[in-house]
Structure 1
Amino acid sequence: MSVYDKAHELARAISQSNEYLDLKNAFERIENDEEAKNMY
């Protein structure tokens, strides 16, 4: 398996992890809340 295949496998695993999804959701909530967006 090549380094590129491993890198893509890692990227896929990270993008499906609970931690990443929680962080993505938090940023989406900030974007949708003007007050929070201004504070950020």
Structure 2
Amino acid sequence: MLPPKFPAPSQAAGSISTGLSQPRTVHYRWITPLPYASPY
């Protein structure tokens, strides 16, 4: 399931795909706000 504050289904697929390889990045992206959620 996706978090309640998810950006969009399109970005969701990309984030999930990235999460498979780097769950740490996705975890930060989901926890931190958008301006701080783009370190990569």
> What interval of TM-score do these two structures reach, taking the shorter chain for normalisation?
0.3 to 0.5
- TM score, norm. by length of structure 2: 0.35
- TM score, norm. by length of structure 1: 0.35
More helix, by proportion: 1
Which structure's relative contact order is higher, taking Cα pairs within 8 Å and 6+ residues apart? Answer: 2
- Which of these two proteins has the greater Rg computed from alpha carbons? 1
